[in-house]
Copies of this chain bind each other. A is one copy, B any other.
Amino acid sequence: MRGGAGLMVKITDVARHAGVSPSTVSYALSGKRPISDDTRQRVEASIRELGYRPHAGARALASNRSNVLALVVPLRAGIHVPVVMQFAVSVVTTARQYDHDVLLLTQEEGEEGLSRVADSALVDALIVMDVQLHDPRLALLRSLERPSVMIGFPLEPAGLTCVDLDFKAAGELCVEHLARLGHRAVALVGSPPEVYVRQTAFAQRVVEGFTAAADRNGMVSSVHPCEADPAAARAAAERLLREQPALTGVVVHNEAVLEPLVEAFEQLGLRIPGDLSVTAICPDELAGSLRLPVTSVAVPSAELGERAVQLLMRKLNGSDSVPEATLLPPRLTDRGSTAPRDAL
């Protein structure tokens, strides 16, 4: 009843079976022109009965649309794998709602990979993650003529569509939260050094927001990049306590070390939130799953993926009013890892 590679049911088969022309079958499928109820039913019945599936390649050739999106995922050090995965799944799921599929590309393929899938019409549009402040792919994406959405904001986003959590506001929100609780000295435990070196936008922005808010509130602040392993976390904790005895508030923007860092603080004799208030910028699932849940600003990977696809769909449909910048406002969830400083 259904065919494999060789025995494909084609649109002419369906047409014959339903007693209509191929174009009518096509239009019944696409809805691009009105079909009488009676005809539509017969066509649909034939399609079901014969197990017809339009040939993707033929369709792409004739319609100039592949109904495939490219998703470029980063691989490099310092990016939290579950975030990437959740984002990817969200992109796939949302794309399916718009009848699109997703082609997976790795950052490694570089600009050549983007050109390849775009120029060969393998994909209709692209989603690019892990954008640097000065990303070498910007020029390419601008010239591509196929729509794209970037996750993250480069320094010069003009002419491109970007979506991201407002990481600067997220940094600020954490600090303001601590400020309201009366804390006077805060530290940011950030991403691994290499992330800053390669000028990853979101890491940099957190630092900006963190510092700005601390300054604004007259707080003492410091920033500490941290490698993504437990030993580094422990070392960072020790160093923090040694160098800044007055410290009462910490913001962690580094998924990999959040848990070991909290454990280290406790093993060093600090109670949380009694002696030290801790906030994080990380996925809610992570913050909530710890032995000691952490108050955090969510990195909403799933929502970002959904937004990215929706924006692309609007661009593909020629909608003219697609915003260049979409900054999701940070939302802080209190999980009890922060307390008023007066408590001391």
Q: Which residues of A pack against B, CB within 8 Å?
A: 2-6, 8, 51, 53-61, 64, 66, 68, 71, 73, 75, 81-82, 84-85, 88-89, 92-93, 96, 101-106, 108-109, 115-117, 119-122, 143-146, 229-231, 234, 259-260, 263, 289-291
Given contacts A55-B120, A57-B60, A93-B108, 9 further A-B contacts (CB under 8 A): A8-B119, A53-B116, A57-B61, A57-B66, A82-B82, A101-B105, A101-B117, A101-B122, A263-B263
Give chain B residues whose Cβ lies under 8 Å from the Cβ of A231.
291
CB distance from A70 to the nearest CB of B (A): 9
A120 lies within 8 A of B54 (CB): yes
A120 touches B53 (CB 8 A): yes
Of listed A56, A58, A290, residue having the most chain B CB within 10 A:
A56
Contacting A145 at CB < 8 Å: which of B4, B64, B85, B230? Answer: B4
A101 to B234, CA, bound (A): 42
Determine the distance from Cα of A234 to Cα of B145 in the docked complex, in whole angstroms. Answer: 54
Residue of B57, B89, B145, B230 near A106 (CB, 8 A) is: B89
A229 to B259, CA, bound (A): 12
Nearest 5 A/B pairs, CB to CB: A4-B145, A57-B60, A53-B119, A56-B122, A57-B61
- Contacts A84-B85, A120-B53, A230-B259; A104 near B71 (Cβ below 8 A): yes
A290 to B233, CA, bound (A): 12
CB < 8 Å: which of B61, B75, B230 contacts A58? B61
- Do A145 and B5 contact each other (CB < 8 Å), given the known contacts A55-B121, A92-B105, A229-B289? yes
Q: How far is the CA of A6 from the CA of B121 in the complex (A)?
A: 11
- A119 proximity list for chain B (CB < 8 A): 2-3, 8, 51, 53
Q: Which residue of B lies closest to A145 (CB)?
A: B4
CB distance from A112 to the nearest CB of B (A): 11
CB distance from A245 to the nearest CB of B (A): 25
CA distance A25 to B77 in the complex (A): 42
Given contacts A92-B104, A104-B102, contact A115 B2 (CB under 8 A): yes
Known: A57-B58, A61-B57, A119-B53. A104 touches B106 (CB 8 A): no
**What is the minimal beta-carbon distance from A73 to any residue of chain B, in angstroms?**
8
Contacts of A96 in B (CB 8 A): 109
- Could you list 11 A-B pairs, sorted by A, with CB under 8 Å? A3-B145, A4-B143, A4-B146, A5-B64, A5-B121, A55-B61, A58-B61, A81-B81, A82-B82, A102-B104, A260-B291
